[in-house]
Structures are given as C-alpha cells and as structure tokens.
Structure 1
Amino acid sequence: MMTVDINSRYGLNPAHSEVVEACKIIEPCNALDMGCSNGRNALHMSQLGFNVTAVDNNPDAINMLRQIVSEEGINNIEARVDDINDAELSGEYGLIACTVTLMFLNPSRVDAVIDDMQLHTQPGGYNLIVCAMDTAEHPCPVPFPFTFKAGQLRDAYQGWELLKYNEEVGTMHNGAQLQFATMLARKPNK
C-alpha cells in the first residue's frame, strides 16, 4: 500500500488501525479527519480515493501536511487549521474520523463537538471515534482534559447503527496502557 511509503518517507506513524479497518468497508467519499496532526490518517484515506478535509489546531502540523501534499502532488487533501472545540463544521461528510482527539478537547465542548459531527454526517455516512476512557476498573494514567465514562460514547449514538463498539484496554504508541472507547457508527438513511 502506497500510504505506508508516504508515511514512513516523512517520518509519520502508519495510519491508525481503526481507520485502516474502516476504510475496508467504507466506499471512498468526502471524509473529515478531525485532529489530523501531521496527516497520517488523511494520507492513508487520500491514497484510497477519499476526498479528505484534514483539520487540526496545530499550525505546524497543518503546515507539515500541506508540505507533504505539495511535494507528493496530492490533490484530494485540504488541510486547514481549525479549533475543533468550536464545533462549527461546514460541509457534509460520508466519513468523519476522530481518533485519539477528543481527549485533548475542552471537556465542556465534547457533547457539542459530537452533535456537530453527527449533524454534518450524510445519511448513511459514518463516524469513527477512538478516545481514552477513565473508569473505576481502569483509571486513566494520563491526565487528559477529557475521557469517556463507561457507555458514554455508545449513549451519544442512540439511533445509529453501531458496526463496531468496544471499551477495551489498549496501548498507546508511547507504551501507556489505557482503556479506549472505540466506535464505528453508521447514520440512519432517514
């Protein structure tokens, strides 16, 4: 797969495993990579034919992604600086991916961000979320501003088809073990 080459060529981690899996069942469409950092997921999706809007609040990360897009001649990624906390998406998306991003947001804004994601997902479209949890069984060892409680993410997607949902312990790229809520949900066709 070409993306591994691009990502490794620029010193980026491979695309998130959940993004890779989701792209096996989701047809290329307009996609939003929320909290894209340097673009590891956006680059993967673009290589598969998705038209990707990649947003992050870090101008340095967005500039690096823009440089990669320019150097590689990629024409299906639009990278822009955006504060996800604002919950002011524009456009409609067939896939919104938000992997290991929500835990860095202002906790008081997470519900609005999720509502905004749902509002800007096309009927039949998908939301992919991976976020740290903090539960009695698995207290979060990292002081993230936001973590989900048990069942909280599932409850936010009442009425959507949950293609995947779990709350399992996983390992972050830095080796920290923590519990994650992982969900791929499909919006009803109305």
Structure 2
Amino acid sequence: MEDLNSRYGLNQAHSEVVQACAVITPCDALDMGCSSGRNALYLSQRGFRVTAVDANPQAIATLQSIVDQEGIQTIAPQVYDIQQADIGADYGFIACTVTLMFIDPSRVGAVLADMQQRTLPGGYNLIVCAMDTAEYPCPMNFPFTLKPGELSAQYQGWDLVKYNEDLGTMHNGAQLQFATMLARKP
C-alpha cells in the first residue's frame, strides 16, 4: 500500500493512531483537529470511513485536494471548530491527538462530553494531550494542559485499553508530559 502521507509531504500518522488500528476494527471514524490529514489518510487506507475536521480552512483545503487527486471516497474533510462541542453524528472511533491543548480551557469538558456521547457502544476514544505537572512544567504556552489523573477521571466507567502519563517529545523537540488514552465505551 503506497504511503500517501509521504507522497504529499505530510508527517506520518500519529504513533498512537497506528497502534489503535491494531485493536479497532475499521468503522466510521472522526479525526478531530485533523490538520492536513495525516491520520485521516492512514485510517482511510486501513478501511475506516473518516470524517476529518479542523478549524483551519487551509488545512481542510489541503486535505480536500489530496482526496480529490486520489479519488478517495472514504474521507470527508470539513471545516469545524471542535470547541463547538456539537459533533452531530455517532462514530465507532474518535481520535483527538495533540489537539485539546489548543482549545479554550473552558470548552474542554464540553468537548470530552460530546465525544463520549457521540461514541457508539463498544466504540473507542483516543486522546493524546499535553500535561503540566510539578515534575514537568509544560514548556509550551498552550491554552490548555491536563493535570495528573484528569483525563482518566473524565472516562470513569469506560474500559481504559491504554492509559499513561509519560514523557514525550513534540515535533519541535520540546520535552513534556503527555496523557495518552485509548478508552472503550461499554
């Protein structure tokens, strides 16, 4: 299978999205904060039907151009600000990787609640988000960061397939702690 991400100069799919595909059967998926579509393209090539949303019209235009050039029927790019917390459809898999930290902190609870409500029973949420902790103060000036245990607490009653709060490296080389979670809705 040809790697469309390299063909179009995009970064590879997020490693957690790649790992989640080992667990999740292809289904209707939502890529929240898709940027130019690195995760959406990866998921599409693995049989998922992907709605890819981002608040940046340029990013969506880039992804739409790739979709058009490749004749991809399984990606629907849409300009959408996830802070609205009104997804409007149900999904078997919702991925939100390195996106929450760019939104208004007062909207995070509503966004997570909407994600949970719009996940089908037995479906999955994947979240990777920066943290700000005493041991590892966040070096980036993100509008929002998670505190220890905050993300897992939001998913009480879900099966945490994977959960950690490990150190990671941003693409710019900054070291910071990330909360990484793949949770299955009962």
1:113-132 matches, within 5 Å, as: 113-132=111-130
Quote the residue 1:7 is aligned against: 5
**Matched letter for residue 177 of structure 2:** Q
What is the TM-score when the length of structure 2 is the normalising length? 0.99
Contiguous gaps of at least 5 residues in structure 1: none
Quote the residue 1:72 is aligned against: 70
Shift of 1:138: 0.5
d(CA) in 2 for partners of 1:50, 1:17: 17
Quote the residue 1:53 is aligned against: 51
Shift of 1:46: 0.2
Shift of 1:89: 0.7
Quote the residue 2:169 is aligned against: 171
Structure 1 range deviating more: 54-63 or 168-177: 168-177
1:40-189 matches, within 5 Å, as: 40-188=38-186
- Match of 2:140, SS state, is coil
- Match of 1:60, SS state, is helix
**Matched letter for residue 37 of structure 1:** S
1:12-27 matches, within 5 Å, as: 12-27=10-25
- Match of 1:122, SS state, is strand
- Match of 1:20, SS state, is helix
Q: Give CA-to-partner distance per residue, 1:71-120, whole Å, 9 cap, x none.
A: 01100000000010000011110000000000000000000000000000
Shift of 1:24: 1.1
d(CA) in 1 for partners of 2:171, 2:16: 14
Shift of 1:131: 0.1
- Match of 1:146, SS state, is coil
d(CA) in 2 for partners of 1:61, 1:119: 27
**Matched letter for residue 159 of structure 1:** G
d(CA) in 2 for partners of 1:68, 1:170: 30
- Match of 1:68, SS state, is helix
Q: Give CA-to-partner distance per residue, 1:158-182, whole Å, 9 cap, x none.
A: 0000000000000111111100000
Q: Give CA-to-partner distance per residue, 1:112-168, whole Å, 9 cap, x none.
A: 000000000000000000000000011000000000000000000000000000000
Identity %: 70
Quote the residue 2:34 is aligned against: 36
RMSD of aligned residue pairs (Cα, Å): 0.5
- Match of 2:16, SS state, is helix
d(CA) in 2 for partners of 1:23, 1:117: 19
d(CA) in 2 for partners of 1:25, 1:114: 22
- Match of 2:165, SS state, is strand
d(CA) in 2 for partners of 1:169, 1:121: 28
Q: Give runs of ≥4 in structure 1 deviating > 3 Å.
A: none
- Match of 2:126, SS state, is strand
Q: How many residues align?
A: 186
